[in-house]
Homo-oligomer: A and B are copies of this chain.
Amino acid sequence: MKNNFIHTYVSVDCVVFGFDDDQLHILLVQRNVDANNSKDLKLPGSLIFNEEDVDDAAHRVLYELTGIKKMALKQFRCFASPHRASNPDDMKWLDQAYQPNINRLITVAYLSLCKIDRKLTNISKYKSSKWTPVSQLPKMPFDHNIIVEESLKEIHNWVENEPVILFELLPAKFTATELRLLYEAIYNRKYDVRNFHKKLVQMKYILPLDEKQENVKHRAARYYKFDRITYNKRKIGI
């Protein structure tokens, strides 16, 4: 049998979202250790190892990037255009970062989420990571801009199927306004404050606390917390 089947490396790339009370951000890394070009940002990713599932590879990438084990993640698509790594700069970087003669690269893209103010412990090969607002993304190598675009569509499905992931983006105690701003950032629209409160009280797995903001120069907002036990019961109910 003719052996013209592809025999290739496979990578994972992770689109990690964060939220800062204003807009969604994505965690990008600097491609070159000796970067002198601030524009040289890309999605964190890695080739996958032998005996490693793609999901595990994504967890590994995220762990090396953030120091966090078991981050919430979701595979959303395989990108495999034969031309996705055909830019000379990208091919050169592949040669340096991995080994020569990678002539094609298939990647499996993941969505993930991280509190934006969490202290990250970067033990990856990348010099630095940088939260970048989705409205100000640079031109990135390979098809990473396309991957991000697709991830933004996909995140709606994810929120609707598993709203728990929203709370990966918020502090343990959060105000109604913070949650509303998060919805507004994800869905890129405004929500009426009163209607949003009604929506909130219907989410039984969000518990109001007695605690309130302190040292704010306006009326202090109530804190809420996510209650995983109630949330899990909800799923049984379906």
A232, CB-defined interface residue at 8 Å? no
Query: Smallest CB-CB separation from A81: which chain B residue?
Result: B53
A8 touches B5 (CB 8 A): no
Asked if A157 CB lies within 8 Å of chain B CBs, one says yes
Is there an interface contact between A6 and B52, defined as CB atoms closer than 8 Å? yes
Of the candidates B5, B7, B53, B106, which one forms a contact with A54 in the assembled complex, judged by CB atoms under 8 Å apart?
B106
Q: Does A104 contact B (CB under 8 A)?
A: yes
Closest to A50 in B: B6
How many angstroms from the CA of A99 to the CA of B9 in the assembled complex?
A: 19
**Smallest distance from the beta carbon of A150 to chain B beta carbons, Å?**
11
Q: Which of B8, B48, B78 contacts A108 (CB 8 A)?
A: B78
Rounded to whole angstroms, the CA-CA distance of A9 and B9 in the bound complex is 9
Select the residue from A8, A51, A80, A99 with max chain B CB neighbours within 10 A: A80
**Interchain CA distance A5-B11 in the complex, whole Å:** 9
B98 near A1: Cβ-Cβ < 8 Å: yes
List the B side residues contacting A4 at CB < 8 Å. Answer: 49-50
Interface size on A, residues (CB 8 A): 30
Chain B: which residue is nearest A54 at the CB level?
B80
Cβ proximity bits A188-224 to B, threshold 8 Å, 1 near / 0 not: 0000000000000000000000000000000000000
Residues of B within 8 A of A134 (CB): none
Residues of A in contact with B (beta carbons under 8 Å apart): 1, 3-10, 47-55, 75, 77-78, 80-82, 98-99, 104, 106, 108, 157
Q: A7-B9, A55-B80 are known contacts; what are 11 more A-B pairs with Cβ within 8 Å?
A: A5-B9, A5-B47, A5-B50, A6-B9, A6-B48, A6-B50, A10-B80, A50-B104, A53-B80, A53-B81, A54-B78
